[in-house]
Amino acid sequence: MLIFLVMVLLILSFAIIWNFDLHKVIHLKMRSQNAADAAAMAAARWQGITLNLIGDLNIMQAVALSTGDTNTARLIAETQTRLCYTGPVIGLLACQQAAKHNGIYANESFSDRMVEHADTVLSDYNAIFAEPYPECWNEYGAMLMNVAGAGVAAGPDNARLYTDYSGGHTLLDIGFYDAIAGQAWCWFYWYAYTLLQTYVDYTEWQLPPPVTETQPENSEFFGLGLTTFNTLPGGEVNVANLNNARAARNISPQEISNSVATAEATWFVYQQSRWTDWSAIKDPSFPVFPERQVRPQYDYSGADAATRVEAVAERMMPNASDRRIACTAAAKPFGYLTTGDGTQVRPDSCQIVLPAFREVRLIPVDTSSAPAGGAYNLEWRDHIENHLQAYLENGLGGLNADCWYCRQLFAWEDAAFRQAGIDWLADTNNVNSCHRSGPGHGPDGGTRRGH
């Protein structure tokens, strides 16, 4: 009887510990996702605030130019230039506070990476890039160092570092590695079918060159996607838009004159390469019902914020390894301009930045600008920064066996592995097996990350 009771107690003990570990992991997952959501919302809110401030300053500059005050206009433009860096970095700081208030501690690896980048800005950027304004790199680097010093709990998962690779490339697409790991041959059918059929070996790859911006204009973290014109785009049409915005914001009783249309000044406008249609949410593979389309006034990409939170759940079960949890989230500032007849149009419809942003909403991660080369998935960053070039030069001998992404390239280089995918697509009649006509995951549609 005593032996039986000891066995029962032992089993009960293991069941209690297992249940405790399970609930701990579930609780940490929920807390991490809440933290990532809150961090993304905080960063996107500051993007909207900063865009509205720059829009207000565009109006003030127009008022100053109407009175011939070119000195004030110049100072306003310099303030706008600074805002393109200080506003997003304040958003970066705000998203750390949001994550911490939701119970997530600073991530030492994230903080170290931010310190490393701040050091690069302070030591190297002056020699590489022209400064947008005097002492920009010293101020920008110091701000990033302060964020890192306070502890980075939420990594900026859609950073656009000035030295990242430019353009899209299969080796820079996380989906490529996920497809290899899961043998998701339909991904290759839709995105890289020719590559799957014709690939021979690593010597065929050629990465795009790194970006080298001669005149940076936006913060690398949560950048706004703005640029400048020396004359007012749209001419007198935008003078009318500036006057409407001036009256709506009650900025000045001074009417903006049409002379502003030809005055030489620095106007902050939306980069047309960044502020395009919101194509990611219209991708056939994304799980959105056809009748639930984005309203025209919100159908734009541009400024958005993506964050990554990683936490470790320490487990009590004997011989059980700790569980690492990674959660991502994305958010975006939304707004619109109102025309004379009351129609709501996109904020970038007149190209010049005007105060238009009203709300911040979470968006699915796969419809944001993440994952980018500047993602804060540090294993991914190490792979694209340190492993890919060695792979291109030495093939499999240049890969790191401890890197998950490198292990997928080991599999990819196996001709039998690729042939298995070709045979599967041929045997299952890929046109029918790989259709993507409906919402949700599975063969009828879906994406890698849709939350």
Shared domain for 60 and 130, answered yes or no, is yes
pLDDT at 438: 45
Mean pLDDT of the chain: 85
Mean pLDDT, range 174-190, rounded to an integer: 88
What pTM was estimated for this model as a whole? 0.85
DSSP string, 138-194: HHHHHHHHHHHHH--SSEETTB--TTSBPS--GGG-HHHHHHHHHT-HHHHHHH-HH
Mean pLDDT, range 29-44, rounded to an integer: 92
Cβ neighbours, 10 Å, residue 151: 16
Shared domain for 79 and 25, answered yes or no, is yes
Shared domain for 371 and 381, answered yes or no, is no
Is residue 68 one of the residues assigned to a domain? yes
Shared domain for 441 and 400, answered yes or no, is yes
Shared domain for 138 and 265, answered yes or no, is yes
189 has a pLDDT exceeding 90? no
CA–CA separation, 216 and 128 (whole Å): 11
CA–CA separation, 439 and 286 (whole Å): 7
CA–CA separation, 201 and 59 (whole Å): 57
Amino acid at 309: V
Query: Does residue 113 contact residue 159 with C-beta atoms inside 8 Å?
Result: no
Helix and strand tally (H, E) in the chain?
A: 13, 8
SS3 of residue 360 by DSSP: strand
Shared domain for 383 and 256, answered yes or no, is no
Q: Which of 66-75, 333-342, 370-379, 382-391 has the lowest mean pLDDT?
A: 370-379
Task: Work out how many domains the chain is built from and give that number.
Answer: 2
Domain that holds residue 438: 170-206+377-451
Last residue of a domain, one of 346, 376, 406: 376
332 DSSP β-pair partners = 361
In this prediction, what percent of the chain has a pLDDT beyond 70?
Answer: 84
Shared domain for 259 and 358, answered yes or no, is yes
Query: Does residue 80 contact residue 21 with C-beta atoms inside 8 Å?
Result: no
In this prediction, what percent of the chain has a pLDDT beyond 90?
Answer: 47
pLDDT at 20: 64
CA–CA separation, 98 and 273 (whole Å): 31
Shared domain for 201 and 298, answered yes or no, is no
Last residue of a domain, one of 350, 376, 402: 376
Query: Does residue 114 contact residue 148 with C-beta atoms inside 8 Å?
Result: yes
Is residue 8 one of the residues assigned to a domain? no
The DSSP letter of residue 158 is T
What torsion, rounded to 10 degrees, do the Cα atoms 285, 286, 291, 296 define? -120
Cβ neighbours, 10 Å, residue 341: 5
φ and ψ of 306, to 5 deg? -125, 140
Closest CA to 171 of 21, 349, 390, 18: 390
Is residue 437 one of the residues assigned to a domain? yes
Mean pLDDT, range 242-250, rounded to an integer: 88
Q: Please report which helix (H) or strand (E) contains residue 358, including its range.
A: strand 357-363
